[in-house]
Amino acid sequence: MNGFCVECGIDTDKLIRGMCIDCFLRDRMLMSLPDHVDLFVCTSCGQYLRHGEWQSMARNKAITHAAREAATCIKEGRIKGTNSTINPLDDYNISVTLDCNIEIEDFETPAAAATIVRIKNTVCKICSRRSGNYYEAILQIRTAEKSLSAKLQDEVLERVEKFVDDAATTNVNAFITKMEIVPGGVDVYLSLIALGRELTKALGDQYCAETDESSKLVGQTRDGIDMYRVSYLVRLPDFHIGDVVRYGKKYYRLTRVSSTGGKLKSLNNFSEMPIRRVNMPDMKVHTRSDEMEIADVISISDGEIQIMDPNNYNTVDLLVPKGAEIGETVRIVRIDGVIYYVP
């Protein structure tokens, strides 16, 4: 041993700034806290600002973090194991006492400090965007017909809402700003360009719809980056799954629609055939699925049924697919005065 404390002279090799631990700790403030610490909370969503980011946290946890992160300790030491005592003075001023251990080389010694955490009400960036009608993209949903039917509108908007809800679980910036019924369809204002792009792709595939996009420069951000607003058009086709359509002078029921095309079932022989997406605009809707006539079934034999024509109560024989399950009623269509069973 060849070291000694410059204060008390004790022989030791464990010296901090030339002093033994006892002399070093004597009258020394090991940890300190500022008189007060500001903690910002969004009055709209309740998130707390932490390291420049808005986070969902329990109130007491946010208060403890705010105090803990404002604590400083002597440069020879390190704060370990914090215990906090929270004591609200009123709704906005909370007294916090931190009890810690300070680690100095291989010593550990307790220390305490107190501060007032002041809760500051504000509005986070996302909430201010929401309330400010912020949007980057407009999804324009239209149809090939004059107007979008209420049923289809509900169905599409439900898909849009589900899509944005799913996106919002991983990105708080994803939201629908507003929806507007316009002549011929509906406009959906979206907070992110990516939402518009992804939804356009998804709806285009789901409905075999025509899509288009156009962008417009709307200004610059504070850092001088160009800001665009993008309009996405989704033109829903006239046809829908279940409709009876005419294609190449024959009649079919449209049984499937996908991103690449669809499937048609012949009303004559019930065989199924694929149709490519590029050819689908050539299909003409003959009877919509929700406008089909229903006829009572009188008798069933293999490959054939007898029904009652709902117009004149005559019995009519119809071909049906072999092995088809026939209930008490069937869907029928009339083409050039002839009745067909709709598979």
Per CB under 5 A, residues contacting Zn ion are 5, 7-8, 20, 23, 42, 44-45, 124, 127
Say which residue the tokens 């003959």 belong to: 286
Q: Judged by CB, which is closer to Zn ion: 45, or 74?
A: 45
Q: What is the dihedral of CA 41, 44, 122, 119, to 10 degrees?
A: -30
Q: Judged by CB, which is closer to Zn ion: 124, or 332?
A: 124
The DSSP secondary-structure symbol of 67 reads H
Specify whether the CB–CB gap between 56 and 134 falls below 8 A: no
* Minimum distance from residue 46 beta carbon to Zn ion (Å): 7
Q: Judged by CB, which is closer to Zn ion: 46, or 88?
A: 46
User: Helix, strand, or coil here: 68?
Assistant: helix
Q: Which amino acid is at 52?
A: G
137 phi/psi in degrees, rounded to 5:
-140, 150
Q: Which amino acid is at 6?
A: V
Q: Judged by CB, which is closer to Zn ion: 43, or 259?
A: 43
Spatial distance between the Cα atoms of 209 and 205, rounded to a whole number of angstroms: 7
Q: Judged by CB, which is closer to Zn ion: 130, or 142?
A: 130
* Minimum distance from residue 51 beta carbon to Zn ion (Å): 16
* Minimum distance from residue 277 beta carbon to Zn ion (Å): 43
Say which residue the tokens 């065989």 belong to: 271
* Minimum distance from residue 100 beta carbon to Zn ion (Å): 24
Specify whether the CB–CB gap between 93 and 54 falls below 8 A: no
* Minimum distance from residue 291 beta carbon to Zn ion (Å): 48
